Amino acid sequence: MADPAGLAPDVLLDVRGLTKLFPPRRSLFQRKAANPVRAVEDVSFEIRQGETLGLVGESGCGKSTVTRLLLGIHQPTAGTMRYRRKDGGSVDLDRLSEDQRLAYCTDLRIVFQDPQSSLNPRLQVRDIVGEVLKVNKLVPPSEIDAKVRELLAKVGLRPEYARRYPHAFSGGERQRIGIARALATHPRLVVLDEAVSALDVSVRAQTLNLLRDLQEEFGLTYLFVSHDLSVIEYICDRVVVMYVGQVVEIATSEALFTRPLHPYTEALLSALPIPDPTQRRQNRRIRLPGEVADPANRPAGCAFHPRCRFASEACRTTPPPLRDLGGRSVACHHAEMLDLKGVDTIQTGLPANA
């Protein structure tokens, strides 16, 4: 397939104008149809080969919908998702039928948030991890067991555990099984959908380090979805910040955390817990007034304006486009003028930047 739009050589997945509207439920007795839920609207970002891209935002901001669109669980209402294939060509994932998508199910893998519900309790670990190998005939049936044991060893589980059922594992171990399942196909992009959010802090650190090691070993690309900024800061190269279905800021992890350009990012950063009580007094938490906007009734102009302390007339009427600003992108009319406060160091119980 030709490459008309010129996918930059280091880009693995290029998302442009991705939009997903969920039509409202039609009620029998409701005359007027309600507004559709704009779960994701005009979201654009790119995932570069070998990087870890963070996707951050409050719950309900459309993070999960984005991952579901990427994986083909939902069909996008509009927008393109151009994917670079192994052979160097590119393919529009959004144009493929459900059957054609199957060809890429081994390339794009996911690790789920909840290690409890993402593993079938009726199957042994070897069947859970081996399912994808079996269904896609990636490995001859006689070799699946050996392959599973190898994968388990890779994620730090004893190979003998292959015969066990998920109920015999702790949360952290189950998540390792989930990771083994994702890695079974030698994927290129792994979506980590809140993959460490359900784990407690010490296990979280172990799992993050494991993910890093695996990334190095297999040259993986991660899309790391999380609402936890400390985790994002720890593992991500670049970060996409979303608010009510739209991207508000994209920057490298370092730039975003030291000097946010969007007032929403600043507010998110100010919510990071600071363990040192002497510092805590100096850093005042920015409390946003009001509620997160309803994706079915987004405010006119900038969606964030009702809660923004810098909102002006322009913010109320004109939606700010995502602008390029010195190697980073931000969707705010006043980005240049604002001097927003980032964080200097993050100490949240995770090991120092290893």
Partner 1 sequence: MSDVTAPTVPETVAPAARRFAEASQWTLIFRRFRRHKLAYASLFVVLGIYLVALLAEFVAPFSPDSYNARFTYGPPQTLKFFGTDAAGETHFMYVNGHRMSFDPVALKRTFVVDEKSVHPVVFFAKGEPYKLLGLIPWDRHLIGPGDPSQPMYLWGADRLGRDVLSRTIHGARISMSIGLVGVAISLFLGLLLGGISGYYGGWIDEVVQRCIDFLKSIPTIPLWMGLAAAVPANLDPLLVYLWIIIILSLIGWTDLARVVRGRFLSLRTEDFVLAARLDGCSRQRVIWRHMVPSFTSHIVASVTLAIPSMILAETALSFLGIGLKEPVVSWGVLLKDAQSILALTTAPWLLAPGAAVVVAVLALNFLGDGIRDAADPYA
**Which stretch, 50-58, 74-82, 116-124, 254-262, contacts partner 1 (CB under 8 A)?**
116-124
By the rule CB under 8 A, 120 interacts with partner 1: yes
Which residue lies nearer to partner 1 by CB, 78 or 105? 105
Count Cβ neighbours within 10 Å for each residue of 301-328 and write b for 16 or more, e otherwise. bbbbbbbbebbeeebeeebbebeeeeeb
Q: How far apart are CA 311 and CA 323, in angstroms?
A: 18
Residue from 19, 80, 106, 283 that binds partner 1 (CB under 8 A)? 106
Q: How far apart are CA 155 and CA 77, in angstroms?
A: 37
By the rule CB under 8 A, 131 interacts with partner 1: yes
Residue from 35, 49, 124, 215 that binds partner 1 (CB under 8 A)? 124
Q: Which of residues 154-213 bind partner 1 (CB under 8 A)?
A: 156-158, 160-161, 163-165, 167-168, 172-173, 176, 181, 205-206, 209-210, 213
Query: Closest separation between CB of residue 105 and partner 1, Å?
Result: 5
Burial of residue 133 (number of CB atoms within 10 Å: 0-12, 13-18, 19+): buried
Residue from 5, 8, 33, 73 that binds partner 1 (CB under 8 A)? 73
Cα 311 to its chain centre, rounded Å, is 28
Question: At CA 130, angle to CA 129 and CA 134, rounded to 5?
Answer: 145
By the rule CB under 8 A, 105 interacts with partner 1: yes
**Contact of 188 with 84, CB cutoff 8 Å:** no
SS3 109: strand
Residue from 53, 110, 236, 315 that binds partner 1 (CB under 8 A)? 110
**Which stretch, 38-46, 121-129, 240-248, 289-297, contacts partner 1 (CB under 8 A)?**
121-129
Tell me the HSE value of 317 on the side-chain side, using a 13 A CA sphere: 3
Q: Residue 202 has what DSSP assignment?
A: H
- Interface positions with partner 1 (CB under 8 A): 71, 73, 102, 105-106, 109-110, 112-114, 117-122, 124, 131-132, 135-136, 156-158, 160-161, 163-165, 167-168, 172-173, 176, 181, 205-206, 209-210, 213, 351, 354
